[in-house]
Amino acid sequence: MTGYRDEAVAWRDWLLRAAAGRPQDLQIVYSLRGDRRLLERELPWLPGYQGAAPVRIGNGAAGQHQLDVYGEVMDVLGLGGDFGIDHDDDAWKLQKELMDFLESNWERPDEGVWEVRGGQRQFTHSKVLAWRGFDRAVKSVERLGLDGPSARWRTLREQVHADVCQNGFDVKRNTFVQSYGGEALDASLLIIPLVHFLPAHDPRMIGTVAAIERELMTDGLVYRYSTKGTHVDGLPPGEGSFLPLSFLYVDNLALQGRKAQAVACFERLLGLTNDVGLLSEEYDPALRRMLGNFPQALTHVGLVNSAIQLSGAGPAPP
């Protein structure tokens, strides 16, 4: 879409090398070299920014079960095809192995996109991305003529969709919720129209955006979920607004036809950049400073995606 085809192909090839192996061993993070071993440990002798602690290296989330990553890999490889990257037999072989695993494991609880340390749950976002995995598999067969059990995948796609709409949606409040049977909101569900699970104008999605605006926003910035009282991440209460989700909110506004609001929110986010145009993972609107990982690639991906959305180029084909 943006013309960096060689870089996209190189990244696709890196991904295939890093993810090669048993599908149940697929990780949500690898080293830059593609290493799997990312042992997490604390460095008590090293002070963090302004004394923040503990300072850690490695990433314990590499050993977590996160269902959404299977849909993410299927989606990104499908996006490559949507925008002109040539088909790769090795990529399709990997995708079919991932689908074999997903077929029998999509109903399992997981740690979810936020890498929670408070126990596994049936996270709605994870199920939506599992649906996207089956959706991408079906479309690869139908559009590209690749070999695969498209009828079985189509049935599973419908089953997951019905499961999410029944168990991940609060009818009384007209909003999708963080996990099955729960009441907590989660702004990760702003991804729903971007992966074409439901249209942005669907009443359930309009209700979800409205609920997030009421409960998870301050000064036009979006928080992941409420950290008041009991919550899922196993961490102390309190955190900044999450900038990647704030850009995802911009995308939802644009898709709902709220263009003026989308532009205003986008410009507000651009105003948070530092003197060289970089953004962090989070932002504290009270203290007016960046928090978390810096610079954060995911935030800048969101910025680019929102810019494309507002330019009229729109999302990838459904």
Residue 228 has pLDDT above 60, yes or no: yes
The pLDDT value recorded for residue 158 is 97
Mean pLDDT (the chain) is 87
What's the whole-number mean pLDDT along residues 137-156? 92
Range of weakest confidence among 62-76, 238-252, 279-293: 62-76
Mean pLDDT of 124-149: 93
- The mean pLDDT value for 144-161 works out to 94
- pLDDT bracket for residue 148 (50, 70, 90): very high
Distance from chain centroid for Cα 20 = 22
What CATH number does the domain located at 168-318 have? 1.50.10.10
> Residue 202 pLDDT > 90, yes or no?
yes
Going from N- to C-terminal start, the domains of the chain cover 1-28+64-167, 168-318
Of 182, 177, 65, 181, give the one whose Cα is nearest residue 119: 65
- Rounded to an integer, what distance in angstroms lies between the CA atom of residue 108 and that of residue 54? 31
Q: What is the CA radius of gyration of the chain?
A: 19
pLDDT band at 190 (very low <50, low <70, confident <90, very high): very high
Position with higher pLDDT, 318 vs 96: 96
Look at 45 and 60; give whichever has higher pLDDT: 45
Residue 58 has pLDDT above 80, yes or no: no
Buried (b) or exposed (e) across 150-175, using 16+ Cβ within 10 A? beebbebbeebbebbeeebbbeeeeb
The first and second tokens of residue 28, run together, are 């949500």
For residues 196 and 188, give the distance between their C-alpha atoms in angstroms, rounded to a whole number: 14
Q: C-alpha distances in angstroms, 149 versus 20, 135, 152, 210, 215?
A: 22, 12, 6, 39, 42
Helix (H, G, I), strand (E, B), or coil: what is residue 176? strand
How large is the average pLDDT for residues 217-226?
90
pTM of the predicted model, to two decimals? 0.90
Residue range 195-205: average pLDDT?
96
pLDDT digits (tens, 9 = 90+) for 96-133: 999 999 999 999 998 888 877 778 899 999 999 999 99
Look at residues 163, 255, 266 and name the one whose alpha carbon lies nearest to residue 200. Answer: 255
CA-wise closest residue to 69 among 31, 21, 19, 20: 19
Among 94-98, 208-212, 268-272, 284-288, whose mean pLDDT is lowest?
284-288
Q: What tens digit of pLDDT does each residue of 237-282 get?
A: 567 899 999 999 999 999 999 999 999 999 999 999 999 999 999 9
